[in-house]
Amino acid sequence: MSLGVAYTLAFAPSGEVNALLLALAGAGLGIPLLLILLDESENAFADIHSAAVSSGILLRFKVEHLALAIGLVCTLIALLAPLAQYQNFLLLIGSVFAPLFGVVLVDHFILRKRSGQVASAALRWPALLAWLGGVSTYHLLANLYPDVGATLPALVLAGLLQLVLGRAFSYGRETARA
């Protein structure tokens, strides 16, 4: 990848960078694309192994067997899933993780103030409600107002909900203890 970037920066005028890359791909000189494919293949193995280790903790199966099963399932999904629907998959991932990041940021840096407190294993309803509010906001904005963008508003709303609900529920617990 470094060679491709160096070549583009060295020989292509700024307005012709995209034209050059398109010409390389269209002319059958797919060597840069092959190098990217080879470089990214290790990520697939790491992702499958990570999923197998995480699942193995929960399911108590051997990591090797889970890695094989997850690899087969992922390969089938890649072969059968229509590539035109890939954007919907990316939106789904964004709708899950952007609000979750807002909840985690507020919980860690504001509510807990990085005090080293560890969250209990019990289900934390305020965090779940804040996260679901962010997910809902993401989908509403992505479907109704796609030009606005959904990631930052969902992240901010989920964080604000976590702040309000987290303080409200912790205040109730502190009052009950006193």
Q: Cα(109)–Cα(159) distance, rounded to whole angstroms? A: 11
Task: Check residue 34 and give its pLDDT.
Answer: 67
pLDDT of the residue at 175: 47
**What are the pLDDT digits (tens) for 161-174?**
999 999 998 755 55
Q: Of the candidates 65, 80, 95, which is a domain's last residue?
A: 80
* Shared domain check, 92 and 74: no
Task: Provide, rounded to the nearest whole percent, the portion of the chain with pLDDT above 90.
Answer: 38
Written as six digits, the tokens of 66 are 């889970």
How many CA atoms within 13 Å lie on the side-chain side of 129? Answer: 12
End residue of a domain, out of 34, 62, 80: 80
Q: Crossing angle of helices 125-144/86-106, nearest 10°?
A: 140
Q: Report pLDDT digits (tens) over 149-159.
A: 999 999 999 99
Backbone angles phi, psi at 10, to 5 degrees: -80, -35
Its pTM stands at 0.58
**E-assigned strand segments in 11-150:** none
Within this chain, do residues 168 and 127 fall inside the same structural domain, yes or no?
Answer: yes
- 72 in the same domain as 100: no
Tokens of 19: 């034209």
- Same domain for 105 and 73: no
In a shared domain, residues 169 and 92: yes
pLDDT level of residue 177 (50, 70, 90 thresholds): low
Q: By residue range, what is the domain housing residue 52?
A: 2-80
Q: Are residues 12 and 65 in the same domain?
A: yes
Helices 17-26 and 2-11 pack at an angle, to 10 degrees, of 130
pLDDT digits (tens, 9 = 90+) for 85-133: 778 888 899 999 999 999 999 998 998 876 555 555 456 889 999 999 9
Average model confidence (pLDDT) for the chain? 80
Burial of 99 (0-12, 13-18, 19+ CB in 10 A): buried
Q: Is the pLDDT of residue 39 over 90?
A: no
| Residue at which a domain ends, from 80, 101, 133 | 80
Total of domains in the chain: 2
Are residues 169 and 89 both part of a single domain? yes
Are 39 and 53 found together in one domain? yes
Instruction: Say if residue 43 is in the same domain as residue 59.
Output: yes
Residues 117 and 157 in one domain: yes
Q: What pLDDT sits at residue 150? A: 95
Length of the chain: 178
Clarify whether residues 47 and 127 are in a common domain: no
Tokens of 123: 């289900």
Cβ atoms of 141 and 154 closer than 8 Å = yes
Q: What would the two tokens of residue 96 be? A: 């899950």
Per-residue pLDDT of 49-90, as tens digits, reads 999 998 888 788 899 999 999 999 988 988 888 877 778 888
Structure token pair of residue 152: 């930052």
Residues 67 and 90 in one domain: no
Does residue 20 have a pLDDT over 70?
A: no
Among 25-29, 30-34, 105-109, name the most confident range.
105-109
